[in-house]
Amino acid sequence: MKPPAFTYHRPATVEEALATLDRVGPDGKVLAGGQSLVPVLNMRLAAPGHLVDINRLTALSYIRAGNGSVRVGALARHADVGRSPAALPLMRQATAHVAHPAIRNRGTTVGSLVHADPAAELPAVLSLVDGSVSLASTGGVRTVAAAEFFTGPLESAVRPGELAVEATFPVPPPGTRSAWLEVSRRRGDYAVCGVGVLVTLDPGGRVTRARACYISVGPTPIVVDLTDAAPDWDAAGRLAAAAVDPGDDVHATAAYRRHLVRVLTARACAMAVADD
């Protein structure tokens, strides 16, 4: 399979990239890691007239911690995030489940957020920590919270002419522990169901807050507050299962996905609090 014809642009600066995106408008697509975009092009599911390759913008390949958050630039690869001491533990835990090593070595975290696949791990992490994405254009920069950024399956708040330059992941409160679990048909496949959890403990070990986010059970990441059920994690699993509304598809029934939500929630919360 081959993609439809397009005009290729390779800007050397962010300013040049933004000018190009402004000029081509809705007919342009950004190429960073390409691990989602290239298959979409090859299958003729998209046919942009212009492809804007940002791989020369190496200043956007950073992962930085400070001021209560972790900031990830547009060219930071999954593999770099997965082994960065600056990344949140949940970011590293989730990134380990992203596809295969070859894809993690090339794919970008911010690119995954923009692609907004409901089965992708990093959109769920951003949603769970109440993060945001910075979108730059020739008119300036705007920041969109995760709750408004993911608008539907494979749909995000990025407008024509905009470049997602950075994602911000706030650091959870002190005493917070995390875990990520998912089930897929084969290692590296899209998850049938996945869950990331954050459980906050006070100095005496009492749970003060518990939240979870789910992938592959809705059109966008689904965040559920489990605090009222904690520390009865079986009850937390039942609460989460009642809060989601998955559908049937060729991979799993809605009933099986709801079952996985219940079981994985209980397991992930128990893992998080047991992690020393």
Q: How many CA atoms lie within 13 A of 49 on its CB side?
A: 7
The pLDDT value recorded for residue 187 is 86
The pLDDT value recorded for residue 188 is 86
Mean pLDDT over all residues of the chain? 97
Under-70 pLDDT residues of the chain: 275-276
The pLDDT value recorded for residue 276 is 55
C-alpha–C-alpha distance, residues 216 and 249, integer Å:
11
CB 173 within 8 A of CB 198: no
